[in-house]
């Protein structure tokens, strides 16, 4: 994975970037940070932060044009922050103003600064603090430059001398430089001779000469800021011979990209008395700062909230994980990579289209290719997909036809979850649209797992089947199928089942209900409206609830990656509306029904069906085969027998709690039977004197253990457990993994 | 299953003895004493290990 590939998903994110006020400030002061401290009354700390940015706090404050106020997002919410009054209050309230001294070893390079105004001294101070040998030449008999004309100069001078007191440099007053030749012995020269001052012919940087301050057109305040920037440019020039631009502050293109403040209180600006803010007033005013930063995705998504990583940090970690070579280095973002619902909600609310779901899916695909992935997280779903797209698949034109204009693509979940949903829908579509049938899976499980090879192979099968049916319009029942197929097979015209159905018999399942749309239908307003019409036509009073495109929790099949998070998300979604839910995604129905939330599928309302319980994993597979059998027999007069695994006829009874545990761990009855079969045929099991058996099935991702006892011709299972580690048996070379 | 159940290898009929077993997960390897058949080396992972220490290590590696 290239670094650029990981950052492409999040490059425009500005979370953690400077706030608009800081971009407007010539000093790029971190105003948010200063105000957090001030709001807590930490005056010394606020002052230190302020001084670091302003260099000469008294002079900078005196010259400040309060540019930040124009960018303050409080403008419309009680008035922009009174930053200037706050700066003065912080300076007045701070007790410890001792300048910081850094023990940096002296350097050999000699630097001349021409002009002892605030701009020249700002540069001289920064360079001298870094250990350079600085000489300041001033033609007048005092420091201060243009500031000397001010009435408050004595106060500003005192503050400048205080800040300068920590470093050593050679200040030569009444010492005028007349030509550049006099500066031969210096390695670099900063020329800050003020507005209309002597430039020695250097209006732009040239070799070791760096003009700056008001001489270069800066305002007095900008001159101070520029002096500090120029010191960095000079340092870089001395080290490398090149330098970064210093005449303009860092670009502020990101300024103004902050999301509109929607939840701001309307606290009014605290008026500043003539004598300045008191401590309490300053605290209250600083406390009005909104601490502008975009945390839209991180505060909306449970997964992002839990892991507390910014989108850019996620990109960094994803890229770093792609370079990991176990056992020498370890990953850092595995759990999060597999905990995403891939629902696109974060992207839908991001003003810059940051796509964390896309990034994490990209990472899963990369990890799978590199073999650095926890196989257990998606193993069950992939096996289920293979079954739905394999044995349970069936593509056919309508009975007695060779091709069709329409074909029904119900997806892998509709018939698995409630066979009647599929059977009744197809009956309707055959009668009304002479629709053909394409039983299979769109491949979403492979997409979520990052298994691109499996995904493409499945798409290839769908394309072939679709072409064989005469390239019909596909009627889909699942919005995830629509999302997947429209991206992978854009040549196929897709129509929602729910836009074609009609309610023939009014039998309301609920008096009133809220429609919980699938997340993949976020942009599909037409189908959302069609579903509401169907619910209303069945006699249900539909509320105006809209889930805003949230995922029920099923998306991304992240359940095993983080069961606690899955539980939190499903609980939150179940509680979004008090009314029962009408859903139109089989996964949403199962998620909510499993939580005990009253809910029904829209097809229950359309066909007057009683909402059923959630089938077990094994029942879902059986349902898929049963539906295929029934349809083939009913409409094509054909028979079908599913492949029979050698362990299929083993009789098993599950003890108390075992079924629930299997559902939680996503262990199927098939795996239990395989363990018993291995014991029967290969004797790879353990027995106790009392006749108990401990059988095992070593799967690709999980090792399943079955505790049972044979009672007649049946195995009574008392416990099932599993682990994801694989052991080496019979020597280090013979790994069962 | 009783923790004290004494298991025998179904194939060999031998009582199990503790042996060093190497486990692999996500590119890492660990070794620990586990009950094994002294004859054929068949490894038994008791539930308290699978759902206890092994699950902890799995979680730890997945958290990275």
Is residue A735 scored above 50 in pLDDT? no
Which of chain B's residues have a Cβ under 8 Å away from the Cβ of A685?
10
Q: Where are the domains of chain A?
A: 3-11+295-374, 20-98+259-286, 110-231, 377-500+615-631, 512-606, 651-723
As separate numbers, helices (DSSP H) first and strands (DSSP E) second, chain B gives: 2, 3
> How many H-runs (helices) and E-runs (strands) does chain A carry?
30, 20
Nearest-5° Cα angle at A288, A284 to A289: 130
A327 upstream amide cis, omega within 30 of 0: yes
Q: What is the mean pLDDT of chain B?
A: 92
Cβ contact A335–B61 (<8 Å): no
**Of residues A315, A322, A324, A294, the one with CA closest to residue A359:** A315
Tens digit of each residue's pLDDT (9 = 90 or more) over A89-111: 999 999 999 888 788 899 999 99
Q: Which residues contact A106 (CB under 8 A, 6 or more apart)?
A: A131, A133
Nearest chain A residue to B45 by CA distance is A705
What is the sign, positive or negative, of the torsion defined by CA atoms of A27, A33, A39, A43? Answer: negative
B32 and chain A: CB distance < 8 Å anywhere? no
For residue B22, give the nearest of B13, B32, B12 by alpha carbon.
B32
Q: What is the pLDDT of residue A255?
A: 52
Q: How far apart are CA A657 and CA A33, in angstroms?
A: 54
Q: Tell me, what DSSP letter sits at residue A65?
A: -
Residues of A in contact with B26 (CB under 8 A): 326, 331, 334, 372-374
ipTM score of complex:
0.97
Nearest CA in chain A to B53: A723
**Could you give the CA distance from residue A658 to residue A722 in angstroms, rounded to a whole number?**
13
Cβ separation A684–B61 shorter than 8 A? no
When pLDDT is averaged across residues A66-72 and rounded to a whole number, the result is 90
As a whole number of angstroms, the longest Cα–Cα distance in chain B is 42
Strands A692-698 and A685-688, how do they pair?
antiparallel
Are A332 and B34 a contacting pair at CB < 8 A? no
**pLDDT interval class at A247 (50, 70, 90):** confident
CB contact under 8 A, B51 and A721: yes
- Alpha-helical segments (H) within A148-301: 153-164, 220-240, 279-286, 296-300
Instruction: List pLDDT tens digits, range A534-590.
Output: 999 999 999 999 999 999 999 999 999 999 999 999 999 999 999 999 999 999 999
**What average pLDDT does range A11-17 have in this prediction?**
87
**Angstrom distances, CA of residue A362 to CA of A1, A174, A185, A337:** 9, 66, 58, 9
Where does A165-301 have alpha helices with state H? 220-240, 279-286, 296-300
pLDDT in tens, A598-639: 999 999 999 999 998 999 999 999 999 999 999 999 999 999
A421: Cα within 13 Å, side-chain hemisphere: 31
Residues of A in contact with B61 (CB under 8 A): 330, 334, 374
B17 in contact with A, Cβ within 8 Å: no
> Pairing mode, if any, of strands A494-496 and A599-601?
unpaired
Q: What is the DSSP letter of A735?
A: B
C-beta atoms of B50 and A723 within 8 A: yes
3-state secondary structure of B11: coil
CB proximity A711 to B under 8 Å: no
Say if residue A489 is exposed, middle or buried (CB neighbours under 10 Å; 0-12, 13-18, 19+): middle
Domains of chain B: which residue ranges?
17-63
For residue A100, give Cα distances in angstroms to A49, A89, A90, A477: 11, 21, 17, 68
Q: Determine, for residues B1 and A719 on separate chains, whether the beta-carbon distance falls below 8 Å.
A: yes
Hey, is the C-beta of A674 within 8 angstroms of any chain B C-beta? no
What share of chain A in percent tops pLDDT 90? 82
What is the average pLDDT across A490-515?
Answer: 94
Average pLDDT over residues B7-28: 94
Distance between B34 CA and the closest CA of chain A, angstroms? 10
Task: List CB contacts of A161: < 8 A, sequence separation 6 or more.
Answer: A143
Instruction: Scan residues 325-384 of A and list those with Cβ closer than 8 Å to B.
Output: 326-327, 330-332, 334-335, 338, 371-374
Helices A479-488 & A452-468, crossing angle to 10 degrees? 90
CATH of domain A110-231: 3.40.50.720
What does the mean pLDDT of chain A come to?
Answer: 93
Q: Which residues in chain B have Cβ-Cβ distances shorter than 8 Å to A707?
A: 1, 47
Please indicate whether, in this complex, the C-beta atoms of A688 and B6 are within 8 angstroms of each other: yes
What would the DSSP string read from start to end of A622-669?
A: HHHHHHHHHHHHHHH---------TTTT-EEEE-TTHHHHHHHHT--H
Put simply, the answer to whether B58 touches A687 (Cβ < 8 Å) is no
| Mean pLDDT value across residues A408-413 | 97
**Among B33, B62, B63, the residue to mutate for chain A (most A Cβ within 10 A):** B62
Q: Which residues contact A302 (CB under 8 A, 6 or more apart)?
A: A565, A568, A569, A572
The CA distance from A371 to A350, in Å, is 32
pLDDT band for position A292 (50/70/90)?
A: confident
Which residues of chain B does A679 touch, with a Cβ-Cβ cutoff of 8 Å?
Answer: 10
To the nearest whole Å, the CA of B12 is away from the closest chain A CA by: 9
| Min Cα separation B49/chain A (Å) | 9
pLDDT at A737: 39
Distance CA A507, CA A42 (A): 66
Asked whether the predicted pLDDT for residue A24 surpasses 70, the reply is yes
- A107-155 pLDDT, tens digit per residue, is 999 999 999 999 999 999 999 999 999 999 999 999 999 999 999 999 9
3-class SS of residue A718? strand
Interface of A with B in 94-133 (CB under 8 A): none
Q: What is the per-residue pLDDT for A405?
A: 98
**Distance, CA of A37 to CA of A45 (rounded, Å):** 7
**Would an 8 Å CB–CB cutoff place A260 in contact with chain B?**
no
- Between CA A683 and CA B12 the distance in angstroms is 9
Taking CB atoms and an 8 Å limit, are B55 and A723 in contact across chains?
yes
Coil, strand, or helix at residue A602?
helix
Answer whether A372 sits within 8 Å of B34, measured CB to CB. Answer: no
Nearest CA to A562 among A737, A365, A376, A300?
A376
Q: Are B25 and A725 inside 8 Å of each other by CB?
A: yes
Which of A338, A688, A719 is facing B7, going by the closest CB pair? A688
Spell out which residues of chain A touch residue B16, defining contact as CB-CB under 8 Å.
Answer: 686
**According to DSSP H, which parts of A259-330 are helical?**
279-286, 296-300, 302-307, 311-322
- Note the pLDDT of residue A175: 94
Residue B35 makes CB contacts below 8 A (sequence gap 6+) with B7, B16, B17, B18, B19, B43, B44, B46
Shortest Cα–Cα distance, A733 to chain B (Å): 11
Residue (of A47, A59, A29, A202) closest to A121 by Cα position: A59
What per-residue confidence (pLDDT) applies to A253?
54
Nearest residue of B to residue A708 by CA position?
B1
Q: Is A346 in a helix, a strand, or coil? A: helix
How many cross-chain Cβ pairs, A to B, lie less than 8 Å apart? Answer: 110
Residues of chain B with C-beta less than 8 angstroms from the C-beta of A686? 7-10, 16, 42, 44
Cα–Cα dist A72/A437, whole Å? 60
Judge residue A251's burial from the number of C-beta atoms within 10 Å of its C-beta, 0-12 exposed, 13-18 middle, 19 or more buried.
exposed
Contact with chain B for residue A725, Cβ under 8 A: yes
Who among A690, A705, A729 is closest to B50 (CB)? A705
Rounded Cα distance between A194 and A283, Å, is 38
Put simply, whether A644 touches B (Cβ < 8 Å) is: no
- CATH ID of A651-723, from 3.20.20.30, 3.30.2310.20, 1.20.120.80, 3.30.300.20: 3.30.2310.20
C-beta separation of A686 from B8 below 8 A? yes
Residues in chain B: 64
Binned at pLDDT 50, 70 and 90, residue A697 comes out as: very high
Lowest mean pLDDT among A206-210, A230-234, A244-248, B12-16: A244-248
Query: Does A724 contact B at CB distance below 8 Å?
Result: yes
C-beta atoms of B27 and A687 within 8 A: no
- Indicate yes or no: CB of A718 within 8 angstroms of CB of B5: no
Query: Nearest C-alpha of chain A: how many angstroms from B13?
Result: 8
CB contact under 8 A, A721 and B24: no
Sheet of A170-172: strands edge to edge?
Answer: A170-172, A133-137, A110-114, A188-191, A209-211
Determine the residue of chain B that is closest to A690 in CA distance: B5
Continuous segment of H or E residues that includes residue A685: strand A685-688
Q: Which residues contact A504 (CB under 8 A, 6 or more apart)?
A: none
For chain A positions 404-423, those within 8 Å of chain B (CB to CB) are none
Q: Residues 423-482, chain A: which have Cβ within 8 Å of B?
A: none
Within A434-580, residue ranges assigned H as helices are 444-449, 452-468, 479-488, 525-537, 563-574
The least confident of A75-79, A121-125, A719-723 is A75-79
- Average pLDDT of the segment spanning A61-73: 90
Q: Greater confidence, A737 or A189?
A: A189
Residue A102, pLDDT score: 80
Q: For residue A184, give every residue at least 6 positions away whose Cβ sits within 8 Å of its Cβ, in sequence order, or none.
A: none
Parallel/antiparallel/unpaired status of strands A692-698 and A581-583: unpaired
CB-based contact B26 A561, cutoff 8 Å = no
Asked if A683's CB is within 8 angstroms of B63's CB, the reply is no
**pLDDT at site A260:** 62
DSSP state of A211: E
Q: Is the pLDDT of residue A733 over 50?
A: no
Q: Sign of torsion, CA A305 A307 A313 A319?
A: negative
Residue in B with minimal Cα distance to A701:
B25
Given CB atoms, is B14 within the 8 Å cutoff of chain A?
no
Please check the confidence at residue A250 and state whether its pLDDT lies above 90. no
Q: Which of B50, B53, B55, B58 is the best substitution to test chain A (most A C-beta atoms within 10 A)?
A: B50
Asked if A728 and B7 come within 8 Å (Cβ–Cβ), the reply is no
Contact A686 B16 (CB under 8 A): yes
DSSP reduced 3-state for A111: strand
In sequence order, the 6+-apart residues with CB closer than 8 A to the CB of A710 are A691, A693, A716
Confidence bin at A736 (pLDDT 50/70/90): very low
Where b means 16+ CB within 10 Å and e means fewer, A255-291 reads: beebbeeeeeeeeeebebeeeebeeebbbebbebbbe
CA atoms of A335 and A331, how far apart (whole Å): 10
Q: CA nearest A448: which of A548, A343, A524?
A: A343
CA dist., res. A97 & res. A91, Å (int): 8
CB atoms within 10 A of CB A91: 20
Among candidate residues A155, A100, A97, the one with its CA nearest the CA of residue A126: A100
């Amino acid at each position: 994975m290239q670094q650029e590939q990981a950052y492409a998903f999040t490059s425009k994110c500005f979370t953690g970037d400077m706030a608009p006020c800081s971009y407007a400030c010539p000093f790029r002061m971190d105003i948010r940070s200063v105000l957090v401290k001030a709001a807590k009354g930490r005056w010394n700390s606020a002052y230190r932060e302020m001084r670091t940015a302003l260099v000469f706090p008294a002079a900078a404050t005196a010259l400040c044009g309060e540019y930040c106020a124009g960018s303050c997002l409080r403008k419309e919410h009680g008035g922009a922050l009174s930053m200037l009054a706050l700066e003065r209050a912080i300076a007045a309230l701070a007790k410890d103003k001792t300048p910081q001294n850094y023990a940096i070893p002296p350097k050999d390079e000699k630097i001349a600064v021409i002009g002892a105004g605030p701009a020249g001294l700002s540069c001289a101070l920064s360079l001298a603090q870094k250990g350079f040998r600085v000489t300041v030449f001033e033609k007048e008999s005092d420091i201060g430059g243009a500031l000397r004309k001010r009435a408050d100069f004595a106060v500003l001078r005192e503050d400048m001398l205080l800040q300068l007191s920590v470093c050593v440099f050679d200040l030569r007053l009444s010492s005028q430089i007349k030509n550049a030749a006099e500066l031969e012995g210096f390695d670099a020269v900063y020329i800050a001779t003020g507005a209309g001052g002597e430039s020695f012919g250097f209006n732009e940087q040239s070799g070791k000469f760096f003009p700056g301050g008001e001489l270069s057109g800066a305002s007095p305040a900008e001159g101070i800021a520029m002096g500090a920037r120029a010191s960095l440019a000079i340092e870089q020039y001395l080290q490398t011979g090149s330098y970064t631009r210093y005449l303009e502050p860092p670009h502020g293109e990101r300024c103004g990209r902050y999301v509109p403040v929607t939840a701001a209180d309307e606290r009014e600006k605290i008026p500043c008395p003539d004598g300045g803010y008191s401590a309490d007033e300053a605290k209250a005013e600083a406390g009005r700062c909104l601490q502008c930063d975009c945390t839209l995705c991180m505060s909306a998504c449970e997964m992002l909230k839990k892991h507390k990583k910014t989108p850019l940090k996620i990109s960094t970690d994803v890229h770093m994980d792609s370079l990991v070579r176990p056992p020498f280095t370890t990953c850092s973002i595995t759990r999060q990579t597999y905990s995403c619902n891939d629902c696109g909600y974060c992207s839908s609310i991001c003003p810059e289209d940051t796509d964390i779901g896309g990034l994490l899916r990209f990472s899963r695909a990369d990890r799978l290719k590199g073999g650095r992935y926890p196989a257990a997280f998606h193993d069950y779903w992939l096996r289920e997909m293979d079954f739905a797209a394999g044995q349970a698949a069936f593509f056919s034109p309508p009975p007695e036809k060779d091709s069709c204009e329409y074909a029904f693509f119900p997806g892998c979940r509709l018939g698995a979850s409630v066979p009647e949903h599929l059977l009744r829908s197809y009956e309707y579509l055959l009668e009304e649209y002479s629709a053909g049938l394409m039983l299979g899976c769109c491949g979403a499980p492979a997409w979520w797992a990052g298994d691109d090879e499996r995904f493409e192979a499945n798409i290839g099968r769908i394309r072939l089947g679709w072409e064989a049916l005469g390239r019909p319009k596909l009627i889909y029942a699942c919005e995830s199928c629509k999302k997947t197929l429209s991206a992978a097979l854009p040549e196929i015209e897709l129509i929602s089942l729910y836009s074609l159905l009609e309610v023939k018999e009014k039998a309301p399942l609920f008096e009133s209900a809220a429609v919980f749309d699938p997340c993949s239908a976020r942009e599909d307003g037409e189908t959302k409206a069609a579903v509401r019409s169907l619910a209303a036509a069945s006699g249900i009073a539909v509320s105006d609830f809209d889930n805003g495109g949230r995922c029920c929790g099923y998306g991304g099949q992240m359940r095993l990656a983080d069961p606690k998070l899955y539980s939190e998300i499903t609980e939150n979604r179940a509680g979004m509306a008090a009314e029962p839910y009408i859903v139109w995604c089989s996964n949403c129905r199962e998620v909510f029904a499993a939580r005990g939330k009253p809910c029904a599928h829209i097809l229950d309302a359309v066909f007057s069906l009683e909402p059923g319980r959630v089938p077990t994993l094994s029942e879902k597979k059986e349902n898929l085969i049963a539906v295929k059998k029934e349809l083939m027999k009913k409409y094509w007069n054909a028979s079908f027998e599913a492949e029979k695994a050698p362990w299929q006829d083993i009789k098993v009874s599950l003890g108390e709690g075992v079924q629930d545990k299997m559902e939680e761990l996503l262990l199927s009855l098939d795996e239990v039977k395989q363990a018993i079969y291995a014991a029967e045929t290969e004797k790879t099991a353990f027995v106790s004197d009392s006749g108990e058996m401990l059988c095992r099935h070593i799967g690709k991702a999980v090792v399943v253990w079955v505790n049972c006892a044979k009672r007649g011709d049946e195995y009574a299972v008392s416990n099932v457990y599993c682990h994801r580690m694989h052991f080496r048996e019979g020597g280090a070379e013979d790994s069962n993994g | 299953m009783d923790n004290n159940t004494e298991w025998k290898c179904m194939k060999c009929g031998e009582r199990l003895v503790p042996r060093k077993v190497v486990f692999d997960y996500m590119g890492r390897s660990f070794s620990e004493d586990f009950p094994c058949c002294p004859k054929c080396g068949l490894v038994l992972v008791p539930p308290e290990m699978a759902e206890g220490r092994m699950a902890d290590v799995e979680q730890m590696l997945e958290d990275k």
